[in-house]
Amino acid sequence: MATLIDGRALAKEVNAHTKQRIEKLKEKGVTPGIATILVGDDPASQIYTRSKEKKAHSLGMKSVREQLPASTTQAELVQAVEHLNSDPSIHAILVQEPLPNHLDDTAIVNLIDPLKDVDGFHPINVGKLYNNVQGNYPVACTPRGIMTMLRHYHVPLASQDVVIVGRSTLVSRPLQALLINEDATVTITGRRTKDLAKRTREADILVVAAGVPNLIKADAVKPGATVIDVGINRLDDGTIVGDVDFESVKEVAGMITPVPGGVGPMTIASLMEQTVDLAEWSAEING
């Protein structure tokens, strides 16, 4: 039976430490500020944005939500981002995706000040990550949360074989870079990879972010492996499941994240933590 990697419990620890850091910054006259731009009325985005806003307020941050109609033009969205870029009370900017189809999301990501890029998606920050540049810069929050989990549970990284199922620029690719920077050997696969189960069975650490419910079964997991399930899928009956068949895989794996309660809470905790990072770095630059 696998050890459960409890994302909720770890997120509480991370948030407690983040709150302490916020209090110390406030003593110096700095209140970390995060701004979210939400375009349109996508229900999932509304829920996610509200949860982030609630968490930021509970930790003592300034949180601003820019709610724009679905008819917002590219020029209007550019103006909103530029306004936040120039606001010294805002240290972190997040543009909630998906954006309406008529908007160029890549151009908007590139417009965000790299020093306020709390999602870690700006090409400058991505380049620093892939080049393993030393110093302060943000990285994507879900991969950051996964790395925190692996370190907290003392999962070895150097010389370990890691297989990531999924090729997204949001999770899989930045996580690949983070793991390579820790001297892991990383293979990127996808749902269409030939003999996928054969590949995943070679993994000491298996990360699944494919967006396919219960894709990975017990026979695709190396006994004793650490399994990180990034997937969040709602079935027709309303049940939330991951990309890993939890009930069967927990009998084979050494450690495993549940869904829900695994990676999800750590993504938001990492977002809050990184907002404080950006505020601290800004204070150093401007102080």
Verify that 108 and 156 share a domain, yes or no.
no
What's the CATH code of the domain at 184? Answer: 3.40.50.720
Cβ neighbors of 119 (< 8 A, separation 6 or more) are: 94, 95, 109, 138, 140, 141
116, 117, 119, 128: the active-site residue: 119
Verify that 93 and 40 share a domain, yes or no.
yes
For residue 251, being part of any structural domain is answered with: yes
Catalytic residue list contains 119: yes
Cβ neighbors of 75 (< 8 A, separation 6 or more) are: none
Catalytic residue list contains 6: no
For residue 69, being part of any structural domain is answered with: yes
Cβ proximity of 35 and 66 under 8 Å: yes
Domain boundaries, position 258: 141-263
Retrieve residue 83's tokens.
Answer: 């306004």
Catalytic residue list contains 19: no
Cα(216)–Cα(104) distance, rounded to whole angstroms?
34
Binding residues for NADP(+): 166-168, 232
96, 160, 176, 274: the active-site residue: 96
Q: How many domains does the chain have?
A: 2
Nearest to residue 93, comparing CAs of 73, 72, 66, 69?
A: 66
Ordered per-residue pLDDT tens for the chain, 287 residues: 999 999 999 999 999 999 999 999 999 999 999 999 999 988 888 888 999 999 999 999 999 999 999 999 999 999 999 999 999 999 999 999 999 999 999 999 999 999 999 999 999 999 999 999 999 999 999 999 999 999 999 999 999 999 999 999 999 999 999 999 999 999 999 989 999 999 999 999 999 999 999 999 999 999 999 999 999 999 999 899 999 999 999 999 999 999 999 999 999 999 999 999 999 999 987 76
Model's pTM, two decimal places? 0.96
What's the CATH code of the domain at 90? Answer: 3.40.50.10860
